[in-house]
Structure 1
Amino acid sequence: MALAASLNSVSIFFVSLVASSVLLYASYLILLHPLRKYPGPLLAKVSDWFTGFHAFKKDLHLEIFQCHQKYGPVVRVAPDRLVFNTVEALQDIYQNGRVSKAYTYGSSVRNNVDNVFTARDKDIHRARRKMIAPALTERAAKSFEPSLMEHVATYLRQVLEASKNSEPLNMTEKARHLALDIVTELSFGSPLNVQTSDENRFVSKALAFGLYRGNIWHHVFYLSRLWAYSFLDLLFFESREKYSRLLDKLIRDRVARARGKSVWWEAHFLVVAGSDTTATATSATFFYLSRNRECYRKLAQEVRSSFASAAEIKSGPQLANCRYLRACIDESLRMSPPVPGALWRSQDPDDNQPLVIDGHVIPKGMLFGISSYAIHHNEAYFPDPFAYNPERWLEPRTPGKKSAYDAFAAFSIGPRSCAGKAMAYLESSLILAKTLWYFDFETAPSTLGEVGAAKGRERAGEFHLEDIFTTRHDGPYLVFRPRGELWKDLI
């Protein structure tokens, strides 16, 4: 009995000690921490699990937007993190040579080899960006265009086949398969052929899982250093190895001398960035056009009056002069950005001068960022932010309108912005213009792709995204009708 009582006393002591330590640490985070003055949810002030939980739910971009609505333009979303929602902060963070990528990007580094996405060191990033730049230049895009057109033609023939029976098409699926074929041929000279075969379609799911896992670790970083890392690798070993072997083969076929791990990781980055951005931009624009018939009518009229034949729809002045087409894509990217969350940054480790972001002195070691989804729906820059309004991009750039252009961050800004921006615009423009040349379309007469009632997802006129660092989405489901006899070009 005496021994039992003694053990019970020891247990109570240790439980009390742990509880007191937790309470003291929480009190420090709330009352004494350098970020104590910034508003935010109580859980966010004491734990990384606030953002980690919403990263797990894939709705962190929605939660950050709602936090800004409640707390204002600067919100503390974790013990050591601030998220901003102003143009001034956007410039101060992403155009600032004294700022580098956050340590959380280290969770995505494999075999101690950085790629252009994970590199925190500016010299390494510059070297990695230089490595992929030749594939993304205007000259490279021009020489690649015939191959791009072949992939678009395959997509159009599939649309034509579905139109014969009014079969609804999931445009997310079509855009994703098309974008994967394009980016793999651009990068390796050999497409995955996922438009016509299901053999390599596992790649899309494998990429999505890797991004989703990495996004959780961005917000609960220590998980990337625990047993969960090895456990998840074992759980998905087969698909991961299958993807690795496929990528190795593509690299060897492209450049026989390319054996280095650095080449492998740059190739992996190109596949992710080159497919997700185009797929989101394209499927989102199809969604908004199908729900906004006046915008659809204006764009169809512009495309069909700007070209005399489908052969004229190619890169060049005629396509560039389709200003309403570009406005429709930009408005879709504004409302449903391909990377909707915050790209976390921190003060450069070698910089010891005070860092000021939008008037706020940021203590060294803290993380900060801008959610593109939140700033794209900031009424100060985009009046009626949940309305699809391509005309906002065609209005004169008055001083009042300049802030809207400054707040547009679908591809981020500054030296770390998306290197494939021009290629993404070209692909999306060609896909949309060619589709509107050959077909009319409307939403499928069913409940396919309907939104749920979850908080932040109740707006039926919004193309909803799942935040996995990039995005996952579904739909829109559309039915196509050929325009006259033009479809004969596709046979």
Structure 2
Amino acid sequence: MYALTAATLLATTTLLPLLLSLGWVIYTLYFRPLSKYPGPLLAKVTTLYATYHGWKGDIHLDMHRAHARYGPYVRCKPNSVLFNTAEGLHDIYKRPGMAIKSKVYSPMVHRAPNTFTIRGGKAHARRRRIMAQGLSDKALRGYEPRIMVHVNKFCQSLGSSLEPKNMAVWCNYLSFDIMADVVFSAKYVLLGTERFRYVLDAIDVSNVRMGTLVQAGGWASWKRLEKAVFQKSIEARNRFVRFVTRVVTVRIGKEKDVLEDDIPDLFSRLRDAHDPDTGDKLTVDEIAAESTTLIVAESDTSSTSMCSALFYLAHNPAARARATEEVRAKFTHYSDVCTGPALSSCQYLRACIDEAFRMSPSVGTCLYRELVSQDATIDGHAIPAGYDVGTGVYAIHHSPTYFTDPFVYRPERWIPGEGDTTHESVERGHSVLNPFSVGVRSCLGKAMAVMELQLAVAAVLASYDFELAQGKLGQVGAGQANLGYGRHRSSEYQLYDHITSQKHGPWLVFKARKY
């Protein structure tokens, strides 16, 4: 009797969890509201699938693979659907009242939320109105002299020798120095000294954890595991937070207005700005939270875009020659480069930059939104409130629906009349080109990032001829056959997506132009 009871108890305690798990899997696969959407089997029943690819850094490539296999609508997590269409992109990110920032980004909040992590509503609109004052067209014109000081130093460094230079490193230094000066009037001079270069490594290592947790969801349960799993990333995060605290503290300790040519830095503008609707101003914690975003976005994503542009120009001699000729017809030296009609008229240069944005966006994954509307319809699909939706940036940038030969670097696709490019094809491409996202949550720093990129690339082309380094160094950053899905194309710049992108190379050799 006792033995039978023990055996029954053992069987019950063993089988019951298995039966409950099996029942939950069956329910998730066949009876939940998203069950009709195709996708990888494991992805439909657990977030561990996306978590793995988030940790691996190829989540953007996996999203592309899913669309190639299952079509434009893919269930990428138990509670999430990807839309790989222009209609889906615009419905998700542009329609007011439809969705808010997904709760999966909650691990990124430290002390106070910032513009990137505030979920939505009046709080986000208030913060965005204040932040926009520091990034207006007038403000950008004032920042240009600060930017060009560092672009000129960057160009001087490129010409210091004929030794190959790792542009992933040098572009990081340039973008960081620009960020520090424009935002905080700080001179960290990574282009010339090593003291603060550790911050860039700290950002990269820290973001491996963040990129994984965002895909995992269920922050409360993961929080108990992260100290064991992400010890190095947490240490890197702490180093970065200490640096941000230092930067903000030093800046607060300076005089009220830090001016350069009578132009205040971004910090001064944010400290003095107020919401035109309510009169509210940012608190010190809020400014610190925004500073974190500014440091990462400016010093990491801007440098990735510049590396991408240089990679594709180096790998495409015809495009490089045409862009160089166009720039040199307007500027004779990097010190001559400035915004204005001359730079704006460099149509092919801008096409080269836009094509680099398309080929290797610095944020290639999906920026998830949680639906709050009870009658949400995304590209004709009714999705219940509470579920996450989004569009993978890399995936839609490489969709043959919108781009002919999507894996070919072809700047001419952005210029009507070039080859078979028409106004309609350019408009179709622009309808999905979103390296800075779109809608009310698009990147506030887009205009400054594009301006910085145009100035820096034009300055390089004005003064230098460059080419890939010889041998294996010249292959760094390019795809290779043994790197797995999506990383086999030697003509494509490979990025590793961890919220922002990690990168390697290209290694380039620079020679001063002959006059």
Q: TM-score, normalised by structure 2?
A: 0.88
List aligned pairs for 1:243-254, cutoff 5 A: 243-254=240-251
1:389 offset after TM fit, Å? 0.4
Partner of 1:104: 104
Partner of 1:489: none
List aligned pairs for 1:80-95, cutoff 5 A: 80-95=79-94
Q: Which of 182, 192, 211 is equivalent to 2:207?
A: 211
1:398 offset after TM fit, Å? 2.8
Cα deviation per residue 1:56-77 (whole Å; 9 max; x = unaligned)? 1110111110110110000011
Closer, same or farther: CA 186–69 of 1 in aligned 2, 3 Å: same
Of 101-110 and 327-336, deviating more is: 101-110
Matched residues in 2 for 1:408 and 1:270: separation?
23
1:134 offset after TM fit, Å? 3.3
Matched residues in 1 for 2:179 and 2:120: separation?
27
2:185 aligned with 1:189: yes
Matched residues in 2 for 1:242 and 1:285: separation?
30
Q: Which of 165, 169, 189 is equivalent to 1:169?
A: 165
Matched residues in 2 for 1:389 and 1:317: separation?
25
SS in 2 for 1:365: coil
SS in 2 for 1:136: coil
Cα deviation per residue 1:88-146 (whole Å; 9 max; x = unaligned)? 001100001121111112221223x2110100122211222233323322222222222
1:446 offset after TM fit, Å? 1.4
Matched residues in 2 for 1:402 and 1:126: separation?
29
How many residues of Structure 1 are paired with residues of Structure 2 in the alignment? 477
SS in 2 for 1:193: coil
The answer on whether the counterparts of 2:208 and 2:233 sit within 8 Å (CA) in structure 1 is no
Matched residues in 2 for 1:400 and 1:484: separation?
38
The answer on whether the counterparts of 2:332 and 2:463 sit within 8 Å (CA) in structure 1 is no
Of 102-111 and 412-421, deviating more is: 102-111
2:73 aligned with 1:68: no
Q: Which of 439, 446, 451 is equivalent to 2:479?
A: 451
Closer, same or farther: CA 89–265 of 1 in aligned 2, 3 Å: same
1:236 offset after TM fit, Å? 5.2
SS in 2 for 1:162: coil
Q: Which of 434, 439, 454 is equivalent to 1:414?
A: 439
The answer on whether the counterparts of 1:135 and 1:186 sit within 8 Å (CA) in structure 2 is no
Q: Which of 289, 292, 315 is equivalent to 1:265?
A: 289
1:309 offset after TM fit, Å? 4.6
1:316 offset after TM fit, Å? 1.0
Partner of 1:362: 383
1:308 offset after TM fit, Å? 4.4
The answer on whether the counterparts of 1:217 and 1:224 sit within 8 Å (CA) in structure 2 is no
Partner of 1:435: 460
SS in 2 for 1:447: helix
List aligned pairs for 1:106-145, cutoff 5 A: 106-111=106-111, 113-145=112-144
2:492 aligned with 1:462: yes
CA RMSD of aligned residues (A): 2.0
Matched residues in 2 for 1:232 and 1:19: separation?
27
1:433 offset after TM fit, Å? 1.0
Closer, same or farther: CA 236–36 of 1 in aligned 2, 3 Å: closer
Matched residues in 2 for 1:176 and 1:185: separation?
14
Residue identity matched to 1:478 = L
Matched residues in 1 for 2:121 and 2:511: separation?
51
Partner of 1:147: 146
Partner of 1:18: 17
Cα deviation per residue 1:134-170 (whole Å; 9 max; x = unaligned)? 332222222222221111122112111132xxx1111
The answer on whether the counterparts of 1:107 and 1:221 sit within 8 Å (CA) in structure 2 is no
1:380 offset after TM fit, Å? 1.1
Partner of 2:451: 426
- Runs of at least 5 residues in structure 2 that lack an aligned partner in the other structure: 257-270, 272-282
Q: Which of 208, 216, 221 is equivalent to 1:220?
A: 216
SS in 1 for 2:328: helix
Of 125-134 and 193-202, deviating more is: 125-134
1:15 offset after TM fit, Å? 1.4
Matched residues in 1 for 2:231 and 2:56: separation?
23
Q: Which of 289, 308, 314 is equivalent to 1:284?
A: 308
The answer on whether the counterparts of 1:107 and 1:224 sit within 8 Å (CA) in structure 2 is no
Matched residues in 1 for 2:492 and 2:52: separation?
24
1:4 offset after TM fit, Å? 7.5
- Runs of at least 5 residues in structure 1 that lack an aligned partner in the other structure: 486-491
1:235 offset after TM fit, Å? 4.9
Matched residues in 2 for 1:64 and 1:420: separation?
26
Closer, same or farther: CA 75–22 of 1 in aligned 2, 3 Å: same
Cα deviation per residue 1:445-470 (whole Å; 9 max; x = unaligned)? 01120533222100000001101122
Partner of 2:58: 59
Closer, same or farther: CA 309–460 of 1 in aligned 2, 3 Å: closer
Cα deviation per residue 1:421-465 (whole Å; 9 max; x = unaligned)? 111111111111111111101110011205332221000000011
Closer, same or farther: CA 93–236 of 1 in aligned 2, 3 Å: closer
Closer, same or farther: CA 130–72 of 1 in aligned 2, 3 Å: same
The answer on whether the counterparts of 2:334 and 2:460 sit within 8 Å (CA) in structure 1 is no
2:239 aligned with 1:242: yes
Cα deviation per residue 1:370-398 (whole Å; 9 max; x = unaligned)? 00100000111110000100011111663
SS in 1 for 2:192: coil
The answer on whether the counterparts of 1:135 and 1:187 sit within 8 Å (CA) in structure 2 is no
Of 3-12 and 130-139, deviating more is: 3-12
Q: TM-score, normalised by structure 1?
A: 0.92
Matched residues in 2 for 1:265 and 1:214: separation?
16
The answer on whether the counterparts of 2:414 and 2:426 sit within 8 Å (CA) in structure 1 is no
1:399 offset after TM fit, Å? 3.3
Matched residues in 2 for 1:100 and 1:33: separation?
22
Q: Which of 411, 423, 427 is equivalent to 1:402?
A: 427
